[in-house]
Structure 1
Amino acid sequence: MGYGFAWHPVLLNSLLLLAAALLFNRLAGRRYPHSQPAAPAPTPSERVGVSRADLHAALAERGEVVDISEDDLEDILQRAEERSHQRRFGALRCADFMVSEVLSVSAAASSDKALALLRDHRFDALPVTSSDGRLLGEISLRELLAAAGMHPAPLVGQLMDTCPHTSRPDDPIERLIHPFADRGVAHSMVVDGEGRLLGLVAQGDLIAALFREQLERPA
């Protein structure tokens, strides 16, 4: 058949197949050729604790099926680490390290007023409370800056995050390690059983608590 066979039908068919693949993936909203996604960077707690890769390796070594999901197993290990820390360093509660004098704002306040409070006190966020002190949400500097210049100025209740991270006074301080280290939570609002705001625990408070306990450990 001569060298023309390499051009027709081999090259022609290959080009047609490639064009069909490109068209199909373009219509499907995918990139072609497919690339292997980069492995996500390990979280801070995974770098010093048990990671999901460690779970995979341990389960593979056992060579048997365990009737529990990876999420449940990871949660059990996390709680075990918290209890181990409490046993070594003692029971540290959120109430022991929270800042009780917390500046708050009402949901009916204007965003301009809330922004002025944040700038005057150099805060990144403010808790939003009701008249009886119940926590309604949280308003951050980013949300207020995005609304700056609007006329009329929106109310805080229209911009606030209604699901801020919360803790109870008796919660162990170790419970905040994973939210602070892995999920980017900057602070946790401490509330009582009825949802009233009692204080705030920030990342710096957690670091100070763990550092103090490290210093007080017997040699």
Structure 2
Amino acid sequence: MTSKAAPQRLTLLPGQQLHTRPREWLRATCGAAIGLFVSVWVCQLVFGAAVATLLIGPVGASAILLFSVPSGALAQPWSIFGGYLVSAIVATLVAQLGGHSLEMAALAVALSLIAMFALRCLHPPGGAVALCGVLAGPALQALDEKAVLPVMLNALTLIAIALFYNNLTGVRYPKRPLPEVNLQHTSDQPALQRVGFSDADLDAALADIGGFVDLTREDLTQLVRKVEDAARRRSMGTAQVADIMSRDLRCATPETRVREALDLLHAHRLRVLPVLDAEQALVGIVSLTDLANFVGRSGSFRLLRRGGGEKSPLSEVMTSPVIAVSPQLPVSELIPMLSSQGLHCLPVVEQNRLVGMVTQTDLIAALQDNLLMRG
């Protein structure tokens, strides 16, 4: 059987297809094993083997969540901490008031679920914690109201291991919204958010679904954005950066003087100049803004005209390193780069050589052509 046959065979299996790689399977498996072992070991040291064994079920379930789906809303630190805490408290109260029967265990699970929903800390293994708290053996029952302590020790140990292991293996945990970069320092939203969906749209869609969605808002937003990107790539066909970039370029060197760069920009009505070294490799880029800021530090444009800064080389002014793209990059992938990252143009590099420049104007022309062809 060829190597391509195995993934195809997996897609024929019943159940939801998992879009994860075997490397992620191994990472999650090792993390869950480490988390379970260390948590039970620590609990055993403090409260004894009997208590640790009674609580091993919910700990194992939590370990799977924290390491296999660390981006899920059910696996965040507050979910496990709050879920374990309210479930342990509810189970203790129900057991003290109603005894250790199956009926009381079912009631404890139901009340714990309501509390977790209300406190936004839904964590399914919390139900198992409530079940254990009511139906546990004598070792846990002997602790009485202090039965909350081994439960919370397990929760805190698991969270600590998840924080260390997930981040060490390249998975950002816990999930936090990325800080929004406001390049214009205004109250306007980024361009893609003004023309795409908003947080209010996302909330409305979730309200229409009605059920619980085990995705953080950040992950859900990223998922929808990626769907939009895939749709743009499909609608724009095979258009690449090489199809729309400018090829007849004006360039400078690190030794080019500021005055010469200004004259070159003015003569060709350009906003940026790529800077190449002796081997014609791209080493920097300089814009009118860079020159204006440099001149501002020198005093004024008058100072420049009097010779104050005209002998300064571009190596003192240019931006380096430079964000560049490949000529084979799909045009659709330029949209977020040239609309939300504060970039007005991008050098196009192939085999370390500058082969073109692509600008916002080039992108707009390509989008207009695509709309006309579809119309």
Q: Does 1:184 align with 2:342?
A: yes
Higher strand proportion, which one? 1
Conserved? CA contact 1:110–1:155, under 8 Å? yes
CA-CA distance at 1:182 after TM superposition: 2.4
Q: Following superposition of structure 1 onto structure 2, how do residues 103-114 of structure 1 map, counting pairs within 5 Å?
A: 103-114=250-261
Give the whole-Å Cα distance in 2 for the aligned partners of 1:191 and 1:62: 48
Q: Does 1:159 align with 2:317?
A: yes
2:357 alignment partner, one of 185, 200, 210: 200
CA-CA distance at 1:65 after TM superposition: 6.1
Give the structure 1 partner of residue 24 of structure 2.
none
- Report Cα offsets for 1:115-171 as digits up to 9, x if no partner: 111111111110111122211111111222333523562210111011443211111
Give the whole-Å Cα distance in 2 for the aligned partners of 1:139 and 1:69: 38
RMSD: 2.5
Going from structure 1 to structure 2, the CA distance change for 1:79 and 1:135 (only over 3 Å counts) comes to farther
Conserved? CA contact 1:165–1:185, under 8 Å? no
CA-CA distance at 1:173 after TM superposition: 0.9
- With CA pairs under 8 Å and 6+ residues apart, which has the higher RCO, 1 or 2? 1
Give the whole-Å Cα distance in 2 for the aligned partners of 1:208 and 1:156: 31
Conserved? CA contact 2:257–2:314, under 8 Å? yes
- Report Cα offsets for 1:18-70 as digits up to 9, x if no partner: xxxxxxxxxxxxxxxxxxxxx94222211221334444554566564635571
Which amino acid in the other structure matches residue 208 of structure 1? A
What secondary structure does 2:347 align onto?
Answer: strand
Which amino acid in the other structure matches residue 136 of structure 1? V
Q: Does 1:143 align with 2:300?
A: no
Conserved? CA contact 2:347–2:356, under 8 Å? yes
Give the structure 2 partner of residue 23 of structure 1.
none
Give the whole-Å Cα distance in 1 for the aligned partners of 2:206 and 2:280: 48
Give the structure 2 partner of residue 85 of structure 1.
232
What secondary structure does 1:104 align onto?
Answer: coil
2:332 alignment partner, one of 154, 159, 174: 174
Give the structure 1 partner of residue 371 of structure 2.
214
Going from structure 1 to structure 2, the CA distance change for 1:103 and 1:59 (only over 3 Å counts) comes to same
Which amino acid in the other structure matches residue 335 of structure 2? I
Going from structure 1 to structure 2, the CA distance change for 1:74 and 1:100 (only over 3 Å counts) comes to farther
Higher helix proportion, which one? 2
How many aligned positions are there? 178
CA-CA distance at 1:83 after TM superposition: 1.4
Going from structure 1 to structure 2, the CA distance change for 1:128 and 1:42 (only over 3 Å counts) comes to same
TM-score (norm 1): 0.70
Conserved? CA contact 2:244–2:358, under 8 Å? yes
Conserved? CA contact 2:255–2:314, under 8 Å? yes
Is the deviation greater in 156-165 or in 140-149? Answer: 140-149
Gaps of 5+ in 2: 1-185, 296-300
Give the whole-Å Cα distance in 2 for the aligned partners of 1:109 and 1:210: 36
What secondary structure does 1:144 align onto?
Answer: helix
Is the deviation greater in 89-98 or in 140-149? Answer: 140-149
CA-CA distance at 1:87 after TM superposition: 1.8
Q: Which has the larger radius of gyration?
A: 2
CA-CA distance at 1:186 after TM superposition: 0.9
Going from structure 1 to structure 2, the CA distance change for 1:50 and 1:163 (only over 3 Å counts) comes to farther
Give the structure 2 partner of residue 36 of structure 1.
none
TM-score (norm 2): 0.43
Going from structure 1 to structure 2, the CA distance change for 1:52 and 1:154 (only over 3 Å counts) comes to farther
What secondary structure does 2:346 align onto?
Answer: strand
Q: Does 1:49 align with 2:167?
A: no
Which amino acid in the other structure matches residue 99 of structure 1? S
Give the whole-Å Cα distance in 1 for the aligned partners of 2:194 and 2:309: 48
Going from structure 1 to structure 2, the CA distance change for 1:84 and 1:155 (only over 3 Å counts) comes to same
% of aligned pairs identical? 32
Conserved? CA contact 2:257–2:310, under 8 Å? no
